[in-house]
Amino acid sequence: MPIPNVPKTATLDDTSLISRTLARAFEDDPMMRWFFPEDAVRETALGRYFATLFTRQYVHHGVCERTDSAAAFWVAPEAQAKAVPDADTIRELRDILGDRAELFGAAVETAAGHAPGEAHWSLSLIGADPAAQGRGHGAALLRSGLARADASGLPAHLESSKPSNLPFYEHFGFTIREEVHLPGGGPTLWTMWREPRPADGPA
């Protein structure tokens, strides 16, 4: 019997699972609640949002892994220019976001202004279904991606708008680099950084 929290490469066939998992994972995320303020439609809208990002962007230019109840999208340093959404993707996202599209654009532009200049691996998204909380799904995906970054000898970077997630990332060696206040009354965004570690060192 397969172990459900062992990371595996995500493919287009996993789109439904990944979009559903991430929609549930980010339902209470401050930034996602700001982008999608209506409770009644948030999970459906988030499912469309994450499916679009996965199928049009990360599955082609990122390193996407999943377990049965979690997903993570990483981008290698050499792929980061390609991982930027193209015009068609932006139009699709704007349609999903509706009247929040301008806030979304401003937030993305602000965050991009705080992106590291050094070569690094970027953890673009990671989330686990709350129903599977405490079963190691998110930790397994994070360890897998960090092992890849460590093997390349490069640091890792992420952004989080959920304060309760910061200690989880700190446990894996990330430290807060900047506290960014998003325009338009948006939530605080914390950028985090982790230096590479030797292959025989702790995660």
Question: What does the pLDDT look like over 36-53, one tens digit per residue?
Answer: 999 999 999 999 999 999
Question: What does the pLDDT look like over 63-119, one tens digit per residue?
Answer: 999 999 999 999 999 998 887 888 889 899 999 999 999 999 999 899 988 989 999
Distance CA 202, CA 182 (A): 34
Q: What local confidence, expressed as pLDDT, does residue 47 receive?
A: 98
The answer to whether the beta carbons of residues 149 and 121 sit under 8 Å apart is yes
Please report how the helices 101-112 and 87-97 are oriented relative to each other, as an axis angle in degrees rounded to 10. Answer: 130
Indicate the fold that domain 8-194 takes in CATH: Aminopeptidase (3.40.630)
Q: At 148, is the pLDDT very low, low, confident or very high (cuts 50, 70, 90)?
A: very high
Residue 9: pLDDT above 80?
yes
Q: Among 55, 192, 62, 68, which residue's Cα sits nearest to residue 137?
A: 68
Mean pLDDT of the chain: 93
Q: What local confidence, expressed as pLDDT, does residue 55 receive?
A: 96
